[in-house]
Amino acid sequence: MESQDKSRQGLPDSFGCCSLRALRQGGMFSVLRLAALLNILALLLICAFILYNGLPVISWEFLTAAPRNSMTAGGIWPCIVGTVWLALGALAIAFPLGVASAVYLNEYARRSRFSRYVRLGVNNLAGVPSIIFGLFGMSFFVITCNLGISLLAGILTLAVLTLPVIISTSEEALRQVPVGLREASYALGATRSQTIARVALPAAFPGMLTGAILGLARAAGETAVIMFTAVVFFSPQQADSLLSPVMALPYHMYVLATSGTDIDKTMPLQYGTALVLMALVLGMNLGAIILRDRLQRRR
Amino acid sequence: MSTANKERLIQIILAVVAFSSLLFLGLITLFLFMEGLPVFRHVGIGAFFTGTDWYPSADPPEFQILPLIVGSLAVTLVASLIAVPLGVLTAAWMTEVAPPLLRRILKPVIELLAALPSVVVGFFGMIVVAPILQNVFDADIGLNLFNAGVMLAFMSVPTICSISEDALYGVPQSLREASLALGATRWETTAGVVIPAAFSGIGTACMLGMSRSIGETMVVLMVAGGAGIIPEWIFDPVRPMPAAIAAEIAEASFRGAHYHALFAIGMVLFLFTLAFNCVAQAISMKKN
């Protein structure tokens, strides 16, 4: 990258004061700059809008109380709990599966026909729309496995959704571990599995953690997947088992905004819920970005 | 157990786990078709795909999904018309023009944009964009094709931008230098040399961005307006396929005709995204 920047500095940006070509370059570069700026503006606009309208709503009560008066008052505590359980549960299943898959793909069968098919499967799984995961979760976990609309059905469906994210980031993390480290371990007489468990995995762990956080954030913000597998708009008591339905932030947000009992009255609640959800998801993503940045600088 | 046997066992267990992704993809396809195909007992294949009457709760119900397919393609088209130029130009700015510091600021911004929960984007479209469309552009309904297209564009720009950026970044420096040495300006180099050289990567990026647009659910459910008609102009409300599934599955009776019809829509949607992804993979493989 450095050499690229240097080579640019030495080059003329203009060809005389009134050159048409220089003018055209200036004009086009402004268009590019505008395009880039538009992205920043879009993010800032959405964040500022939600923050400005949501912040006055946030209070201790809003965060820790249950909804009252047919959802027009009170807080969102059950939704926060539900979302945390759903996301953590999904990660608890997808992370071990994803890491094990990545270990196999990167350490055992990097170029075999089998791993080529698995990679193709992972890529295509990553491209499946979330609503399809929702349909699948409903017909497979909810109905065929007889789990009902429940926390567990939601967790399992979300786990399938986050699996590709975990696999590809874990594989990337393992690929970054220098071959020399593994060779040193083999030279000391360690077996392949010992080398993976004691050398490769610990070295790749921070990178895998980044993937885990991204998967967690994805699961927490997802709506279409849990809509008909795990959530209800209102449940009188806190979910007490894996087999009971839960409330969740994204779904709460959706119902309040589109078909709540009294859309105008719940407006502040909508902004507050949007803010909490956005802070949760963007916070986790920002954490993952910072972690990755640190790792890259250490290297 | 001997060490060699133990090693073999571990390898086999890991291979079985790695197989799980393929298994899930297979199960998803299986269940989708198993629950979707029976709809053709209620409606002919031709009528299902080419008829324009989607009245699932009328008596007798009509399951003809052309308006939903057109709705999906229309929002995807509008989104792509905005997102492709925006994403590619942003990527070009990042690799060809921006000083390193600004590039390091923009990268996480793009990633955070990708991470915004779709329900929050949909909410923004309902509360902010819809009134603007009604008041400024004089649209009859704020929740319409154009609104959904704009919101989807912002959700697919990050995909298009980051993959295009990788492609542009991978163009060999010597190509740029050769072009500059021949007297081309930096813009002429960017437009005439760098972007054409990265064309296959940019093509992949656009296909994946479109795949994301057509499959996105919450945004079209909240801001597309929900009318199951073939749109005649850009401010008409539409009912894209994911929106129909999400809105109706709760009221469809289990394994009834409507239920099967919704799974069949899921099937069609799945095939659309699969096609987009396959084209994307074919483009990127051709290059490698």
CA distance B235 to chain A (A): 20
Give the whole-angstrom CA distance, residue B52 versus residue A178. 59
Helical H runs in A67-150? 77-103, 113-127, 130-137
In this structure, are residues A237 and A180 in contact, taking their beta carbons and an 8 Å threshold?
no
CA distance B15 to chain A (A): 6
Instruction: Output the CA torsion sign for A160, A162, A165, A167.
Output: negative
Q: Once rounded to an integer, what is the mean pLDDT over residues A249-261?
A: 85
In this structure, are residues A99 and A166 in contact, taking their beta carbons and an 8 Å threshold?
yes
In this structure, are residues B42 and B56 in contact, taking their beta carbons and an 8 Å threshold?
no
Tokens representing residue A265 in the block = 């009255």
Mean pLDDT of chain B: 92
pLDDT at residue number A140: 94
- Name residues 75-94 of chain A within 8 A of B (Cβ): none
Kindly give the interhelix angle for A249-259 and A77-103, rounded to the nearest 10 degrees. Answer: 130
pLDDT at residue number A260: 60
Q: In 3-state terms, what secondary structure has residue B235? A: coil
Mean pLDDT of chain A: 87
Share of chain B above pLDDT 90, in %: 73
Q: Which residue in B25, B119, B204 has the most chain A C-beta atoms within 10 A of its own C-beta, making it the best mutation to test that interface?
A: B119
Q: In 3-state terms, what secondary structure has residue A183? A: helix
Instruction: Output the CA torsion sign for A91, A95, A97, A102.
Output: positive
CA distance A202 to chain B (A): 18
Domains (ranges, CATH) in chain A?
Answer: 60-298 (1.10.3720.10)
**What count of CB pairs under 8 Å joins A to B?**
262
**What confidence tens digit (pLDDT) does each residue in B208-259 have?**
999 999 999 999 999 998 888 899 888 999 999 999 999 999 888 888 899 9
Name the residue with tokens 């802070």: A279
Q: Once rounded to an integer, what is the mean pLDDT over residues B178-191?
A: 92
Asked if omega into B237 is within 30° of 0 (cis), the reply is: no
Q: In 3-state terms, what secondary structure has residue B225? A: strand
CA distance B143 to chain A (A): 12
Chain A residues with CB inside 8 Å of B180's CB?
A: 11
For the ranges A164-178, A187-201, A263-277, B184-198, the lowest mean pLDDT is seen at: A263-277
In this structure, are residues A100 and B18 in contact, taking their beta carbons and an 8 Å threshold?
yes
Tokens representing residue A15 in the block = 């060809």
In this structure, are residues B122 and B243 in contact, taking their beta carbons and an 8 Å threshold?
no
Tokens representing residue B96 in the block = 């060809």
**What confidence tens digit (pLDDT) does each residue in B2-24 have?**
888 888 999 999 999 999 999 99
DSSP 8-class letter at B183 = T
Share of chain B above pLDDT 70, in %: 99
Q: Over the Cα atoms of chain A, what is R_g?
A: 24
Chain B residues with CB inside 8 Å of A131's CB?
A: 215, 217, 242, 245-246, 266, 269
Residue A245's identity, in one-letter code, is: P
Domains (ranges, CATH) in chain B?
Answer: 48-287 (1.10.3720.10)
Angle at A163 between CA A158 and CA A166, to 5 degrees: 125
Instruction: Output the CA torsion sign for A170, B114, B69, B60.
Output: positive
Q: Is the pLDDT score of A299 beyond 80?
A: no
Chain A residues with CB inside 8 Å of B254's CB?
A: 143
DSSP assignments along B107-120, one per residue = HHHHHHHHHS-HHH
Residue A147 CA to its chain's centroid (Å)? 25
Q: Which residue in B101, B218, B249 has the most chain A C-beta atoms within 10 A of its own C-beta, making it the best mutation to test that interface?
A: B218
**What confidence tens digit (pLDDT) does each residue in A5-49 have?**
444 444 455 445 558 888 989 999 999 999 999 999 999 999 999
Q: Is the pLDDT score of A4 beyond 60?
A: no
Containing A229, the helix (H) or strand (E) segment is none
For A231, counting Cβ atoms within 10 Å of its Cβ (0-12 exposed, 13-18 middle, 19+ buried), the class is: buried
Which among A130, A105, A108 has a CA at the least distance from the CA of A120?
A105
**What confidence tens digit (pLDDT) does each residue in B62-116 have?**
899 999 999 999 999 999 999 999 999 999 999 999 998 888 889 899 999 989 9
pLDDT at residue number A1: 39
Tokens representing residue A173 in the block = 């993390």
pLDDT at residue number A97: 96
Global pTM value: 0.91
Contact A132 B97 (CB under 8 A): no
pLDDT at residue number A239: 66
